[in-house]
Amino acid sequence: MRAVVQRVKQAKVTVSGDTVGEIGAGLLVFLGISRSDTINDVDWLVGKVVHLRIFDDSLGRLQHDVRDIGGKLLVVSQFTLYGDVRRGRRPDFTLAAPAMMAEPLYQRFINGCRLLLPVETGIFGADMDVSIVNWGPVTLLVETPGADKTVE
C-alpha cells in the first residue's frame, strides 16, 4: 500500500459539484492499493498514518500526531499511486489492485482510522475534485513493508 499524506489546514472533496468530504486541520491521505496488499498491510498503515508525528509542538518541532491537535483525516482513493512511468509515456497500472479487490481494503483502512479519530472520505472510484490548503507544506510518502516497487 502507498499513502501520500499531506498535513493540511483544510481539504475538501467534491463530486459533480457536491461536497462529499471536508475537514479543517488534519491529514489528507491519498491511498493506493496494490494487487499484493493484505489486511495486515491495511492495519499496519492505519497505525502508521494515525500516529505520524508531523504537527509542531510549542518549540516548532514535529512532535504531535493528528489526534493531539484534535484533527481529522480526509481519505481519498488513488489507484494512480501505482502507476509505473519508467517505460514509455503512458502509466502502466499493472500493479494497482482492481476495484473489486481494492475497495474492501480501502473501507477497512477507513474503518480502522475511524476507531481512533474522525474521518471524512471521497467516493471510491469517482471522478473527484480535491481542494487543499497544504500546511507547511508537509507531504510524506508512506509505504507498507514489502510494497510492490517494481514491475514483474
Average pLDDT over residues 6-21: 98
Q: Which domain holds residue 91?
A: 2-143
State the CATH number of the domain containing residue 132.
Answer: 3.50.80.10
Q: Is residue 150 part of a domain?
A: no
Residue 151: band (very low, low, confident or very high) from pLDDT cuts 50, 70, 90? very low
Q: Is residue 82 part of a domain?
A: yes
Range 8-47 burial, b when 16+ CB lie within 10 A, else e: bebbbbbeeeeebbebebbbbbbbbbbeebeeebbeebbe
* pLDDT given at position 53: 98
Q: Is residue 97 part of a domain?
A: yes
Q: Is residue 149 part of a domain?
A: no
* pLDDT given at position 147: 62
Q: Quote the pTM value.
A: 0.94
* pLDDT given at position 148: 53
* pLDDT given at position 130: 98
Point out the residues that are catalytic.
78-80
Instruction: Report the number of distinct structural domains present in the chain.
Output: 1
Q: Is residue 151 part of a domain?
A: no
Q: Is residue 152 part of a domain?
A: no
Residues 6+ apart with CB under 8 A from 106: 31, 33, 75, 77, 124
Q: Is residue 133 part of a domain?
A: yes
* pLDDT given at position 69: 97
pLDDT in tens, 111-123: 999 999 999 999 9
Residue 152 pLDDT greater than 60, yes or no: no
* pLDDT given at position 146: 75
CB count within 10 Å of CB 70 equals 11
Burial of 49 (0-12, 13-18, 19+ CB in 10 A): buried
pLDDT in tens, 50-99: 999 999 999 999 999 999 999 999 999 999 999 999 999 999 999 999 99
